[in-house]
Structure 1
Amino acid sequence: MKILLVEDDSGLADMVRRTLTEAGYAADVAFDAPSGIEAFEIDPTYDLVILDLMLPGLERGGMAVCERIRELSSGVPVLMLTALDSMRTKVQGLDAGADDYVVKPFHVAELLARVRALLRRSPTAHAPVLSAQGVSLDPATRTAIRGSRRIELTAKEFAVLEYLMRNTGRIVSSSELIDHAWDSNYDGFSNVVQTYVRYLRQKLTADGEPDIIVTRRGSGYTINPDA
């Protein structure tokens, strides 16, 4: 899952980005209203936008960014951050197209809970629990189960497997996986995907279980849907 964070406080932005990354999300950051709009115009496939209300660069700050995002996408969830704890401000944010809001200062646990809730409502969240080839993946609890055993995955392993399972039956290229499981600052090599797919295969297969991730040489990876 890939999240766009638009926040002008660099310290808070860094803390939220690290929190999201540690939770298994890929997060890009923009620091003012024009940059936030530009980031979404360049890549409107973000799964969620976390948007500060008081942003520099445009007269109406985060309200203007939210309205522009809504012009480009009616479905992407928008979580608004505001230091103004007034009903009028909250109503204005929701009327501008936000789906939810968090008042600053906030607890990290609350932010992550609201992120998970909005992602479950996202058009890309086809089901609360993903299931394919005997593997169940619960994005809400970040757990993976095959048969009767629970599989411990790192945040990045979970992100790769989640994206593949959300796209069962479709070949996903390495570059597409990098786009959705790593943030825009990633400048490494595409073989990082091959490495993480190997990690996943080692953890997902035990006692002769078949491999659920299929390599399409020269094209990418796929997980076949259940028959």
Structure 2
Amino acid sequence: MHVLIVEDDPVIGKTLNKGLSEAGHECELVRDGQAGLERAIASPFDAVVLDILLPSLNGLDILKSMRAQKNRTPVLLLTALGTVDERVAGLQAGGDDYLVKPFAFPELLARLEAVCRRAGERPSPTAEAAGLKLDLTNRRVVHGATEIDLTPTEFSLLEFLMRHSGRVVTRKMLCEHLWDANWEGETNVIEVHINRLRGKIERAGAGSPISTVRGRGYVLRDS
């Protein structure tokens, strides 16, 4: 992993930098809050280890600024503030996990790797392709100013196609995404849902972005 460490305590910062580097991760250590925010925004990192009590800009303000700019890099918060309210404030600001000082380095390493795994497994809450915008949080799809009313099955189908935009997905892949990880049934049921989905997209003025690839499956073309 490429990890940004934002920690003003020289002993803790050096320990984290050394420990994570020895664990095989590439690290960058910053000791000032404003500099930490600038680095977090300017460069892609796999994770940020972020102290809360920092000079020039505290960790919660850094975190809020990152999330306001749609930066979803996993953040592990470090602090000497260990009350429940303080932990809740950190998580509500967009933190992925919280570790109270003093801590054992093996626990920090395990928590950091865990938040990165979870981030990798978590799909983005939004997707855009073929002039369509999908909002997973609110279960909405729009084309321009027109909202497209989809059933849960149609929504899941479109989400899968959008996340694989430009690539052919088979009927079996779609069935497994919708109903079962090891689908062995008939796949022609997909055609019915695809046809209904196409009709709703076309009536919204988005054209016909879903193409049938004979003998293979379907593809959502982005242009």
Shorter-normalised TM range: 0.5 to 0.7
Distance 1:63-1:18 versus aligned 2 partners, 3 A rule:
same
CA contact (8 A) 2:66 2:72 kept: no
Which residue of 115, 118, 121 maps to 1:121? 118
Counterpart in the other structure of 1:48: 47
Q: In structure 2, the residue corresponding to 1:106 is in which secondary structure?
A: coil
Tell me, what secondary structure is at the counterpart of 2:99? strand
The residue number in structure 2 matching 1:2 is: 2
TM-score, normalising length: structure 2: 0.53
2:84 aligned with 1:90, yes or no?
no
Aligned 8 A contact 1:76 1:123 in 2: no
Aligned length: 123
Deviations, residues 123-160 of structure 1 (Å, cap 9, x unaligned):
3899xxxxxxxxxxxxxxxxxxxxxxxxxxxxxxxxxx
1:76 aligned residue: 73
Which residue does the alignment assign to 2:15? 15
Query: Sequence identity of aligned pairs in percent?
Result: 40
Secondary structure of residue in 1 paired with 2:29: strand
User: Quick one: structure 1 residues 122 and 100, their matched pair in 2 at CA, closer, same or farther if it must change by over 3 Å?
Assistant: same
Q: RCO higher in 1 or 2 (8 Å CA, sep ≥ 6)?
A: 1
Residues 47, 101 of structure 1: alpha-carbon distance in 2 compared, 3 angstrom cutoff: same
Find out whether 1:112 has 2:109 as its counterpart.
yes
Q: Call closer, same or farther: CA 1:41–1:92 in 2, change over 3 Å.
A: same
Q: What is the CA deviation profile of residues 167-208 of structure 1, one whole-angstrom value per residue up to 9, with x for unaligned ones?
A: xxxxxxxxxxxxxxxxxxxxxxxxxxxxxxxxxxxxxxxxxx
| Stretches of 4+ aligned residues off by more than 3 angstroms | 123-126
| Paired amino acid for 2:110 | A
- The CA distance in 2 between the partners of 1:11 and 1:63, in whole Å, is 22
The structure-2 alpha-carbon separation of the partners of 1:124 and 1:13, relative to structure 1 and needing over 3 Å to count, comes to: farther
Q: Structure 1 pair 96/125, CA: closer, same or farther in 2 (3 Å)?
A: closer
Instruction: Quote how far apart the aligned CAs of 1:74 are.
Output: 4.3
1:35-184 equivalences under 5 Å are 35-43=35-43, 45-58=44-57, 61-123=58-120
**For 1:74-112, what per-residue CA distance to the aligned partner results, in whole angstroms no more than 9, with x for missing partners?**
431110001011011101101111010000000011001
> Cα RMSD (Å) of the superposition?
1.7
Counterpart of 1:173? none
Distance 1:11 1:112 in 2: 17
Amino acid at match of 1:123: G
